[in-house]
Amino acid sequence: MMRTNLAPNSRFRIDRRDKCYPLRLTDLCDPPQHLYIDGDRDLLKMPMVAVVGSRNASPEGLGNARYFAQALSHAGLLVISGLARGIDGAAHHATLSLGPNHCTMAVCGTGVDVIYPREHLRLARTIAKQGLLLSELPPGTPPRAFHFPKRNRIIAALSLGVIVIEAAERSGSLITARLAAELGREVFAVPGSIWGPHSVGCNLLIQQGAKLIKTPKDVLEELIF
């Protein structure tokens, strides 16, 4: 965890009654009453797709995260994730690397001024300048285990669809996927070896009805935006 001074002029608190409050969050049974953001709030108007997965991702999984994130950003979608290690970080980095016209959003399980994990401090600073940090937690809130499932529900609600790149059998990414399905969002999963621990969660999602995807085109043909 690291407390950091991000650009104060870009910080806002958005209340549920505000015009810029994302309507998709009202599909939740417990929509946040307040959102705290750091960055470009106009990005909340964009169609979003989530790219999530394992914190302990394989090199192949990290490559897949970069591949899907960049292609979907080129297609006009805002790539969102949870600022975690592994797949999340790869998706954020890959999108930002395309240049200033490509933005990403990180939904935090902390206050937007408390960066976790600490190795993503530079990444978070870049997202605040070339994208958006968002949290329902007030500034100064440290990471707690129960914050992250709550963060996942926001990712699921904001997204047109959720792409799971890699996931273990007990993974927070599966929580995000389950919530997305309950909200009527599209759920996509990249398949893997039946013997691979990184593939267990994705293969399970496919068994349960998630769309098996091999290319970004498989995602785009399912989304309307």
Query: Which two structure tokens, joined as six digits, stand for 18?
Result: 């505000």
Q: How does 48-87 read in b/e, with b if 16+ C-beta sit within 10 Å? A: bbbbbbbbebbeebbebbbbbbbbbbeeebbbbbbbbebb
pLDDT number for residue 33:
96
pLDDT number for residue 171:
87
Q: Is residue 6's pLDDT more than 60?
A: no
- Top pLDDT among 210 and 1 is at 210
| Fold classified for 2-220 | Rossmann fold (3.40.50)
Q: Is residue 2's pLDDT more than 60?
A: no
What would the pLDDT profile of 41-70 be if each residue is shown by its tens digit?
999 999 999 999 999 999 999 999 999 999
**What residue spans define the domains of the chain?**
2-220
Q: Which amino acid is at 190?
A: V
Q: Is residue 8's pLDDT more than 50?
A: no
Q: Quickly state the pLDDT bin for 7 (edges 50, 70, 90).
A: very low
Q: Is residue 1's pLDDT more than 60?
A: no
pLDDT number for residue 4:
52
The predicted model gives 197-204 an average pLDDT of 95
Question: What is the rounded CA–CA span in Å between residue 193 and residue 174?
Answer: 18
Q: pTM of the entire structure?
A: 0.94
Q: Quickly state the pLDDT bin for 224 (edges 50, 70, 90).
A: confident
What would the pLDDT profile of 115-167 be if each residue is shown by its tens digit?
999 999 999 999 999 999 999 999 999 999 999 999 999 999 999 999 999 99
Mean pLDDT of the chain, nearest integer: 94
Cβ–Cβ under 8 Å, residues 126 and 133: no
What would the pLDDT profile of 80-114 be if each residue is shown by its tens digit?
999 999 999 999 999 999 999 999 999 999 999 99
Contacts of residue 47, Cβ cutoff 8 Å, sequence gap at least 6: 76, 77, 78, 160, 223, 225
